[in-house]
Chains A and B, each alone.
Chain A
Amino acid sequence: MTRTMKGIAFAIAEAIDQEMAERPDIVVLGEDVTYWGAVFGFTLGLYQKYGRDRVIDTPITEQTFFGMAAGAASVGMHPVVSLMFVDFLGAGFDQMYNHIAKNHYMSGGQFAMPVTILTAIGGGYGDAAQHSQVLYGLFAHVPGFKVVVPATAYDAKGLTISALRDSNPVVIFGHKLLTGLPFLPFEGQEEEVPEERYTIEFGEAAVRREGSDLTMIAAGLMVHRCLRAAEELARDGISAEVIDLRTLVPLDSETLVTSARKTGRVLIVDEDYQSYGMTGEIAFRVQAGALDALKAPIRRLAVPDVPIPFSEPLESAVIPSVERIVNEAKTLLAAGARA
Chain B
Amino acid sequence: MWKPEPSLADLRYTVEKAGLSPETLLAAYRQMCLIRSFEETIADRYYIGKTPQFNMAAGPIRGEMHLAVGQEAVAVGVGMHLREPDAVVSTHRPHHHVLAKGVPADKLAAEIFGKVTGLCRGKGGHMHLFDAEHRFSCSGIVGASFPQAAGAAFAFRHRGEPHVAVAFAGEGAANHGTLAETLNAAVLWRLPLVIVIEDNMYADSTPKWQALAQPHQFQRALGFNVPSYLVDGMDLIDVWRVAKDAIERARAGYGPSLIEAVCYRYRGHFEGDGEEYRTREEVERWRQLDPIPRLAEWLKRLGWADDTTLERLRREAEEEVARAVAFAEQSPLPDPQEALVGVFR
* Most interface-central of A74, A94, A167 (chain B CB within 10 A): A74
In the bound complex, what is the Cα–Cα distance between A124 and B152 (angstroms)?
40
In the bound complex, do residue A67 and residue B342 qualify as a contact, i.e. CB atoms below 8 Å apart? no
Residues on A with C-beta less than 8 A from B135 are 74-75
Contacting residues, chain A, for B148 (C-beta < 8 A): 67-68, 70-71, 74, 95, 99
B43-64 CB mask vs A (1 if < 8 Å, else 0) is: 0000000000000000000000
Assess whether B344 is in contact with A67, with CB atoms less than 8 Å apart: no
Q: Residue B158 contacts which of A77, A98, A105 (CB distance < 8 angstroms)?
A: A77
Measured between beta carbons, the chain A residues less than 8 angstroms from B240 are none
A309 to chain B minimum Cβ distance, whole angstroms, is: 30
B residues near A109, Cβ cutoff 8 Å: 121, 342, 345
**A68, A105, A168 interface centre (most CB from chain B within 10 Å):** A68
**A104 and B343 form a contact (CB under 8 A):** yes
A110: chain B residues within 8 A (beta carbon): 119-120, 130-132
Q: Does chain B have a CB within 8 A of A73?
A: yes
A68 to B144: give the CA distance in the assembly, Å: 10
A71, B151: Cβ atoms under 8 Å? yes
A74-97 CB contact bits vs B (8 Å, 1 = yes)? Answer: 111101000000000000001100
Given contacts A27-B158, A98-B141, A106-B124, contact A68 B151 (CB under 8 A): yes
Q: Is the beta-carbon distance between A168 and B345 smaller than 8 angstroms?
A: yes
Interface size class of A (residues with CB under 8 A): 35 or more
Question: Does A10 lie at the interface of the complex (its beta carbon under 8 Å from any beta carbon of B)?
Answer: no
A289 to B154, CA, bound (A): 48
- Give Cα A108–Cα B111 distance, bound, in whole angstroms: 10
Decide yes or no: A95 and B144 within 8 Å by CB, A70-B151, A103-B130, A109-B345 being known contacts.
yes
Are the C-beta atoms of A111 and B137 separated by less than 8 Å?
Answer: yes
Q: Say yes or no: is B326 at the interface (Cβ < 8 Å to chain A).
A: no
- Kindly state the separation between the CA atoms of A74 and B155 in the bound complex, as whole angstroms: 9
Interface size on B, residues (CB 8 A): 43
Interface flag for B182 (CB, 8 Å): yes
Q: Is B331 an interface residue (CB 8 A)?
A: no
| B150 contacts A by Cβ under 8 Å | yes
Please measure, in the bound complex, the distance between the C-alpha atom of A69 and the C-alpha atom of B147, giving whole angstroms: 8
* A106 partner, pick from B120, B144, B177, beta carbons under 8 A: B120
Query: Do the beta carbons of B343 and A105 come within 8 Å of each other?
Result: yes
Query: With an 8 A cutoff between CB atoms, is B65 at the interface?
Result: no
- Closest Cβ–Cβ distance, residue A67 to chain B (whole Å): 3
A27 to chain B, nearest CB (A): 7
The B-contacting residues of A in range 53-74, CB under 8 angstroms, are 53, 56, 58-59, 61, 63-74
Return A23 CB to nearest CB of chain B, in Å. 13
From 134 to 158 in chain B, residues with beta carbon under 8 angstroms from any chain A beta carbon are 135, 137, 139, 141, 144, 146-156, 158
For residue B129, give the distance in angstroms from its CB to the closest CB of chain A.
9
Name B147's contact: one of A27, A95, A103 (CB within 8 Å): A95
In the assembled complex, the Cα of A79 lies from the Cα of B154 at a distance in Å of: 11
Across the interface, name the chain A residue whose C-beta is closest to B148: A71
For B123, the closest partner residue in chain A by CB is A108
Q: Judging by beta carbons under 8 Å apart, are A58 and B120 in contact?
A: no
Per the bound structure, the CA–CA distance linking A56 and B150 in Å amounts to: 14
Q: Which residues of B contact A79 (CB under 8 A)?
A: 151
- Taking a contact as CB atoms under 8 Å apart, the answer to whether B132 and A72 are in contact is no
Nearest A residue to B125 via CB reads A106
Interface string of A293-324 (1 = CB under 8 A from B): 00000000000000000000000000000000
Q: A residues within 8 Å of B by Cβ? A: 27, 53, 56, 58-59, 61, 63-77, 79, 94-95, 98-99, 103-112, 143-144, 146, 167-168
> Could you list 6 further interchain pairs (A-B, Cβ under 8 angstroms) beyond the known A68-B147, A72-B158?
A61-B185, A68-B148, A69-B151, A106-B124, A144-B343, A144-B344
